Amino acid sequence: MNFDYDLIVIGAGSGGVRSARIAASYGKKVAIFESSEVGGTCVIRGCVPKKLLVYASGFIKTFKAASAFGWDVPPACFSWKKLIANKDAEIKRLNTIYLSLLKNSAVELIQHHAKFVDQNTVEAAGKKYTAQRILISTGSTPFFPDIKGIHHAISSNEALSLKELPKEMTIMGAGYIAVEFACIFNALGVKVNLVYRGDKILRGFDEDVRNFAQEAYIKNGINVITQANVLEIKKSKDCYDLLLDSDMCLKNQEVVLCATGRVANTDNLGLEHLGITLKYNGQIQVNEEQNCGIESVFAVGDVCNSDNLTPVAIKEGHLLMDRWYGQGTTYIEYDYLPSTVFSQPEIANCGYTEDQAREHFGDVVVFKSQFRAMKYAMTDIHDQTLMKLIVQKESDLVVGCHIVGADAGEIIQGFAVAIKQGIRKKDLNKCIGIHPTSAEELVTMR
């Protein structure tokens, strides 16, 4: 059978764009479909713009600390509108780069929504396109719980482009997205309420990290309300009142941000025509080959896995194309994935939590250190840093590393390489630390 393309990619996010470009580099004819901006969640409405806002919110602490180091800093004047305008310009620049990458790779970009007709055919804007293989890389989208008045809430997408900085807001949820935005807005002077149904924020993280972070957020001024569900959101003039099941009512909230998780973008793809199995959250079930159970249909990234990380989507797609078209034999490895929560303080981790390590390995040895970073020694800022290593007792292998504090993400990257390669605690002990740094603590803990 003659096909229009060797490969059709649905979704031009990080995973889709990388897959398309690598396939094209092997001389394959590739088309990629995207109904929104090229770049996906990470570049357009996720990691990148959020990190820019994180940087903006961090300057306040820098201004506060500067005087202790001899700087006479005049009162700072912040403009939310200027920040958002500059952020938008940067995102537009990155979008242009992504468009150029596709063009220079000879990938055909079709800017329409595509849905399946059969396992080798998609339809977009009334036209049908065929390919030997079709790759789904449509990512994920914010989840909104089914409660009365939820249509008044915004998602993280809209939070990145608010026209005005609110005086008070409520954030529903306490995962990494929720706490990141809570810290951004809190640092910029917004009164933030963080409402979560569980007894402690950041479910799934190490218990010491959860306790330490929650205490730090509260000290920084975030009103953390746990063991509470939002039952209803009522519009009240230009604000909103939130009724909680803990007999509490949060009145006059200018913004309600729903950050209660994400679901896969699998609606309206025509997957029902193929009989593809979906998980409870809409994600596609795939095997080791990224195959969806249909010979010619595959998926990478957030649409099919629980590790919702941009580098994971990119690596999955790249290695898959190498195996298809370049005689590659390498598969992605999901163990010891490093990740960072860009909150204040920053949280980074690699490997197992203490509870997971005890369950998986049995006996473990835990090393912990808590200290005030030298950067704040002469200031009235009393932020603490937490570092924690989890070591399998029998083998001496480091199986978990957790950091809460300034530059945690930058620190974890190097240690993640070592942990992935099987570093032992005695190997860390042999290392000479760089003094004075926070990172040296990880090679001096006893």
Contact (Cβ atoms closer than 8 angstroms) between residue 371 and residue 324? no
What is the β-pairing status of strands 168-172 and 255-258? parallel
Question: How many residues does this entry show for the chain?
Answer: 446
In 3D, which of 172, 226, 229 has the Cα closest to residue 201? Answer: 226
The one catalytic residue in 112, 152, 382, 435 is 435
Q: How far apart are CA 396 and CA 426, in angstroms?
A: 7
435 is catalytic: yes
Q: Helix (H) and strand (E) counts for the chain? A: 11, 21
Q: How far apart are CA 348 and CA 168, in angstroms?
A: 28
Q: How far apart are CA 24 and CA 5, in angstroms?
A: 11
Diameter of the chain by CA atoms? 74
Residues 6 or more apart in contact with residue 300 via CB below 8 angstroms:
15, 16, 19, 135, 136, 137, 290, 313, 316, 317, 320
Listing DSSP states for 260-285 in one string gives S-EEES-TTS-GGGTT--B-TTSPBP
Tokens read off for 354: 């203490």
Tokens read off for 307: 């590790």
Residues 6 or more apart in contact with residue 362 via CB below 8 angstroms:
393, 394
Catalytic residues: 435
